[in-house]
């Protein structure tokens, strides 16, 4: 597993050599950040505090790799995450992604990045998009109990609906159950003639844990 993470990290660094020929190969680097009132992932809440979630991504055709993180803006919450990912999106809407999730402050974690048996979880994701409908399956293949998560989503005219179910760490009992359902809405706010701010709002219900969450944020 250490080799997997090192390969992902090395690929991100080496891909910088292609920036000079970006126009010829249609390759590009992008950087951005999301700001939310809380971090909720697949129906599980990670700390009752505002977060900043930066992204650095390199794409070339259907290939992409990058880094994503989540950092609490409150001194009372220690939830922290720093991930690496690599994937490929085919023209028919099918995509495959491998992710290395690093949790330095989670219970049981040593906090050391190269302690791959304690601080990391590795996942493979397969997804298919058909028009406004999408289906994804996610499987933890290392440092977990064979956790599986499936999600379906449909984009209506103004609102997106999603429904997700999982087992093991996703539920209280470990048995497969619905853990993430709700709606999301994006609204663009024009700040100036050349700058607009995407506002994101979500209502998330976790039937397994009998919890509901309201999430709002914006992207830069």
- Look-up: residue for tokens 């028009």? 131
Distance CA 78, CA 105 (A): 6
Would you list the domain boundaries of the chain? Answer: 2-15+27-158
Q: How far apart are CA 105 and CA 97, in angstroms?
A: 25
Judge if pTM exceeds 0.85: yes
pLDDT 10s digit of each residue in the chain, 220 long? 666 677 677 776 666 655 544 444 578 999 999 999 999 999 999 888 999 999 999 999 999 999 999 999 987 777 899 999 999 999 999 999 999 999 998 888 888 999 888 889 999 999 999 999 999 999 999 888 889 999 999 999 889 999 999 999 999 999 999 999 999 999 998 988 889 999 999 999 999 999 999 999 999 9
Q: What is the rounded CA–CA span in Å between residue 49 and residue 37?
A: 6
pLDDT at residue 207, rounded to an integer: 97
pLDDT of the residue at 22: 46
């Amino acid at each position: 597993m250490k080799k997997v993470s090192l390969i992902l990290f090395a690929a991100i660094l080496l891909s910088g050599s292609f920036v000079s020929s970006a126009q010829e190969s249609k390759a590009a680097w992008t950087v951005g950040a999301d700001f939310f009132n809380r971090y909720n992932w697949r129906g599980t809440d990670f700390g009752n505090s505002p977060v900043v979630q930066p992204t650095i991504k390199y794409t070339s055709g259907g290939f992409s790799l990058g880094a994503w993180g989540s950092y609490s803006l409150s001194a009372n919450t220690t939830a922290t995450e720093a991930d690496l990912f690599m994937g490929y999106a085919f023209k028919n809407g099918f995509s495959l992604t491998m992710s290395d999730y690093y949790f330095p402050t989670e219970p049981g974690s040593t906090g050391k990045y190269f302690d791959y048996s304690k601080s990391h979880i590795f996942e493979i994701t397969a997804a298919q998009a058909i028009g406004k409908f999408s289906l994804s399956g996610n499987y933890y293949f290392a440092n977990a109990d064979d956790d599986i998560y499936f999600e379906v989503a449909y984009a209506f005219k103004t609102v997106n609906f999603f429904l997700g179910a999982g087992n093991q760490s996703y539920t209280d009992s470990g048995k497969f159950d619905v853990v993430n359902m709700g709606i999301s809405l994006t609204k663009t706010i024009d700040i100036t003639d050349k700058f607009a701010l995407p506002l994101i709002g979500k209502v998330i219900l976790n039937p397994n844990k009998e919890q509901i969450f309201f999430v709002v944020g914006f992207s830069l």
